[in-house]
Each structure stands twice: as structure tokens, then as C-alpha cells.
Amino acid sequence: MKTQSFITKDDIRKAAPVAFAEKPTRDVSSQYVFANTETVIDDLAKFGWMPTSASQRTARKGVESKFSPHMIKFANPDIVVEGEDGLSWPEIILKNRHDGLGSFQFMAGMFRLVCSNGLVIATANFGSVKIAHKGYSFNELREIVGKRVESLPQVIGTMNQMKERELTGAEKHRLALDAVLLRSGIKPTSKDAKGFKPEAGLIKSILTPVRKQDNSDDLWSVFNTVQEKAVKGGFQLNGRRTKGITSFEKDLQLNQALFDRALTFIEPAEAELVEA
């Protein structure tokens, strides 16, 4: 049976060396207490959560900052969700930076083994926890991990609801269009979205499953197809061929926004909200 793969600290050093910064920038406030990401990596390991991937913000002109925002994903090999479409691993996603402009941020995610693709659970629905550097402690991390584990039944319940919700052709079209709008920088609920006209054949391309496990009309399968296409790109948009998203920050933003849109199909009251 294929399983989740984990990475070492050496792997993290290659992908996100800023995680191992030993001090903050010189212009942080006097209240800032430095706690490097390595400390959190070690502490999460004590709870059974091991790193699976790491990335950092790519600076302009290839010059990396020692204090750039960075992200590390963690999974617990003992916590696995098994479904007809394959195995999934709940994730804890950590964002951090060492310049005093942000806190440790922990988000919930789900890694889907069948396509080696991860999704980020919408923070509006399942929460995002932040710890200020001046307040980081092992006990607070223990509480966060506990809350993540406690929330798993809710996350899995939402996944099951999505698998049970069959979409009509019009609904599939709408979700695919939402993905295209988000890749275009347009909020699906905004007025700008109403006048948006996708290129001929684009929606059909976005909805075409990459693998047989997703060849279904249920919301979970359609969402995974659309999400993967949106992140990896390769389709024509505004006269240009889209590239895959390489920025972890843009990836997180798109994932959360698209997941939030998918939830409107099982929370219909939200689907009709349009921004002024």
C-alpha cells in the first residue's frame, strides 16, 4: 500500500533554509521574543506530527531573505482517512516569518495520496490559530494539536457530505468558473464576476478529470479535479497559457478560497451572497 512520505531537516534546509534562522531582523520590537521554526518542528515531532513538505517565499532577482515567510506541512502517520477514492492524510500547516511582521499560524489541511495533491481547509469554516512570538510555548502548541485532532471528525464529516452531494451540470460549471475567476484575481461573489466570459472550451477542460478516481459528479470529486487544474495551470486564460502556481502563499490563498466556494453547495444559504 502506498503511504505518505516524510522529509528530514536536511530536506527542509534545502527547500526552506529560512526555517533555521537563529535570530530575527534587527528592527523588531523590544517585545518580540524569537522562536525559530526549528523549535516548532521538534515540538510537533513529540506529538507524532512529522514534516512532509517545505517552501519559502521566493525573493525577486533570486535573492533570498533570511527572514522570508515560509511554510511547512506536517502529517501524523497514525492518522489516515480511507475512502473509495484512496487515502487522505489530515495535515497541520505551519506558516512563520522571523521579521516581526507575523505570528506562527497553524491551519488545517488534507493531503490526498491518489494525486499527491493537498488542499487547505477554509479558515472561515474550520479556523486558523495564531501564536505571537512573544507568547509561544510548548503547552500552547499542545493545545493547538489537540484542537486539530478534535476537529478531524468535523473535517471528515464535511468530506463525506461533499462525496454525497451530486452536482448538476450547471453546478459543475459554476464551480469550474469560480476556479477560473480566482485564478484571474476576481472574487466569484463580486460584480466583476458577472461580466466575466471564459474562453471557449475552458470550463470543459477544467472539469475533465485527470484520473479515473475523480470521474464522478459528486462535489468531492469535481472539487478535487477543479482544484488540481487551477493550481497546476496549463489552460488558456486571457489569451495566455497559465503557469502552475509556485508561490506557497498564492497556493494557500487559492486553495482556501476555492474550498470555501465548494462549501456553498452544502451550505446553500451562502451561495447567494454577492458583494456590493
Of 163, 178, 209, the residue that ends a domain is: 163
Identify the domain containing residue 56 by its residue range: 9-163
pTM of the model: 0.77
Shared domain check, 152 and 141: yes
Shared domain check, 177 and 91: no
Arithmetic mean of pLDDT, 29-56: 83
Shared domain check, 171 and 124: no
Shared domain check, 213 and 156: no
Of 163, 188, 204, the residue that ends a domain is: 163
Shared domain check, 129 and 78: yes
In the predicted structure, residue 26 carries a pLDDT above the cut 90: no
Shared domain check, 137 and 15: yes
Q: Which of 25-29, 184-188, 243-247 is predicted with the least confidence, judged by mean pLDDT?
A: 25-29
* 22 vs 164, residue with greater confidence: 164
Shared domain check, 38 and 105: yes
> What integer pLDDT is reported at residue 175 of this predicted model?
97
Shared domain check, 261 and 152: no
Shared domain check, 222 and 97: no
Of 98, 128, 163, the residue that ends a domain is: 163
3-class SS string, the chain: CCCCCCCCHHHHHHHCHHHHCCCCCCCCCCCCCCCCHHHHHHHHHHCCCEEEEEEECCCHHHCCCCCCCEEEEEECCCCCEEECCEEEEEEEEEEECCCCCCCEEEEEEEEEHHHCEEEECCHHHHCEEEECHHHCCHHHHHHHHHHHHHHHHHHHHHHHHHHHCECCHHHHHHHHHHHHHHHCCCCCCCHHHHCCCCCCCHHHHHHCCCCHHHCCCEHHHHHHHHHHHHHHCCCEECCEECCCCCCHHHHHHHHHHHHHHHHCCCCHHHCCCCCC
* 111 vs 29, residue with greater confidence: 111
Shared domain check, 235 and 128: no
Number of domains in the chain: 2
Does 252 map to a domain?
yes
Does 59 map to a domain?
yes
The band of 105, judged by pLDDT with boundaries at 50, 70 and 90, is: confident
> What integer pLDDT is reported at residue 96 of this predicted model?
85
Shared domain check, 25 and 113: yes
Does 46 map to a domain?
yes
Shared domain check, 127 and 111: yes
